Amino acid sequence: MTTTGGLAHIRPTATDGQPGGLFVGVDVGGSKIAVLVVDAALDVCSRHTIPTSVGEPDEAAGQIASAIDTALAGARASIRDVRAIGVGVPGRVDPATGVVSLAVNLGWHRLPLRERLEAVLGVPVAIENDVRAAAAGILDRGTLGDVRDFIYLSVGTGISAGVVIDGAVHRGTRGLAGEIGHIVVDADGPVCPCGLRGCLETIASGPAIARAAGESRTAADVYAAAAAGDATATAVVDRAGAALARAIHALVMTYDVERIVLGGGVSRAGATFLDPIVRELDAMRAASELATDMLPADVVAVSPDGGDVGTWGGISIARALVSAVEGTQRPEEVVAREVNG
C-alpha cells in the first residue's frame, strides 16, 4: 500500500498484466480539478469535479488520485481498467520529467507530480501545461476542421494561451510559451501573484472580475448581473472584454494564426462574455486597415467543448503515452515528441 497526500491506495497490478482500455484526462485549475474517463473509442464514460486545494502541494497527488477513483467508480470501473492518465496543470511543466516547477496560482514549486501519481496509482501518467494539453486535444480531435494554426486562450482563475503552429504545439525555450496572463497591461494596476503589477490576469481573470465588482461576488455573478443590466457589473465585464480583445490582437499579430479559440470557466458566461470582446475588436477594425486584415470576423470562436476542453487535453496526452510501440520509448519521451511536433 502506498500513501500520498494523506490518502492510502492499494497499488494495482494492471500494468503488470494486460493494460486496461480506458483513458483518464485530468484538468487541474485554480478552483477545481475536473476528471474525464473515456473508452478506447473516445466515448465518454464518466465525469467528476472537485475543488482544488490551492497551496497544498503535498496533498496534490492524493487529491487528484481521489478524484480519479471517484470518476472511475462512476464509470463502474477501477484503476485496473485504465491504460494511461493525462494531467494538465497551469504553469511551467516539464513533460519529460513530469515535474511542475512553477504553478503560481496553485502555490506549487518543483513538484514531482508524475512520480507521485504513478506511485499511488500504478498507471503511466503524462503531465503537461494545461492549455498546451488543451490545444493538443483540439488539434487531435479535429475540433476546428482543417485549421492547423490556432491559439487556445483560456480565461479562468488564470489566463494563458496554447499556441499551435503548422499542426504542432509550441512550448517555447523555457516551457512557458503563451503565458499571456502575465503580460503587464496596466503598470499601475494591482499586484499579481507573479510579483508584477497590472498583469492581464489582474483585470480579466475570474478572480479579478469578482474583486472589481465586490468581493462578495463570483465572476459568474458579475456576468449574470451585467446581463441583467447592472451598471457596475457591466463596466467591469466591458473592461475585462476590452483587455482580452487587446490580448487577442497581440496574439494574432505575433503568430498570424487563423483562429483564436476561447475557453476556461469565465468563457461559459456566453454572450455576456463574448460581446465586449467583439465590440473592441470591431473598434480596432474600424480604426486600422491592418487590424481589419488580421482580425477577420471569424477569427474568434468559443470552444464547443465547454468545460471539457481541458480534460480532453488530458485524454490527448494520455493517448500520446501509448502511441509508440510499448517498450521502445519511455512514456514521457513520447509525450515530449508529440507536444513539440
| Model pLDDT for residues 102-143, shown as the tens digit of each residue | 777 787 888 899 999 999 999 999 999 999 999 999 999 999
- End-to-end alpha carbon distance in the chain: 38
Question: Looking at residue 15, what is its pLDDT?
Answer: 36
- Mean model confidence pLDDT for the chain: 86
Q: Is residue 18 scored above 80 in pLDDT?
A: no
- DSSP, collapsed to helix, strand or coil, labels residue 26 as strand
- DSSP, collapsed to helix, strand or coil, labels residue 334 as helix
Question: Looking at residue 39, what is its pLDDT?
Answer: 95
pLDDT confidence bin for 337, thresholds 50/70/90: very low
Q: How much of the chain is helix, strand and coil, in % rounded to 5?
A: 45, 25, 30
Least confident interval from 45-49, 81-85, 173-177, 194-198: 173-177
Question: Looking at residue 58, what is its pLDDT?
Answer: 79
Alpha-helical runs (H) found in 228-308: 231-255, 271-287, 289-294
In tens, the pLDDT along 197-255 reads 999 999 999 999 999 998 778 999 999 999 999 999 999 999 999 999 999 999 999 99
Q: How far apart are CA 318 and CA 17, in angstroms?
A: 19
Work out the average pLDDT over 30-36: 90
Work out the average pLDDT over 281-304: 94
Q: Catalogue all structural domains in the chain, each as residue range(s) with its CATH number.
A: 2-12+19-133+307-340 (3.30.420.40), 145-303 (3.30.420.40)
In tens, the pLDDT along 36-71 reads 999 999 999 999 999 887 667 778 889 999 999 999
From the list 319, 227, 208, the residue with the least C-alpha distance to 274 is 227
Alpha-helical runs (H) found in 75-179: 113-121, 130-141
Question: Which grid coordinates belong to 261?
Answer: 479559440
Work out the average pLDDT over 148-174: 93
Residues 6+ apart with CB under 8 A from 96: 332, 333, 335, 336
Contact 92, 174 (CB under 8 A): yes
Question: Looking at residue 55, what is its pLDDT?
Answer: 67
Question: Looking at residue 91, what is its pLDDT?
Answer: 82
Q: How far apart are CA 89 and CA 102, in angstroms?
A: 10
Neighbours of 175 (CB within 10 A): 19
| pTM confidence score | 0.85
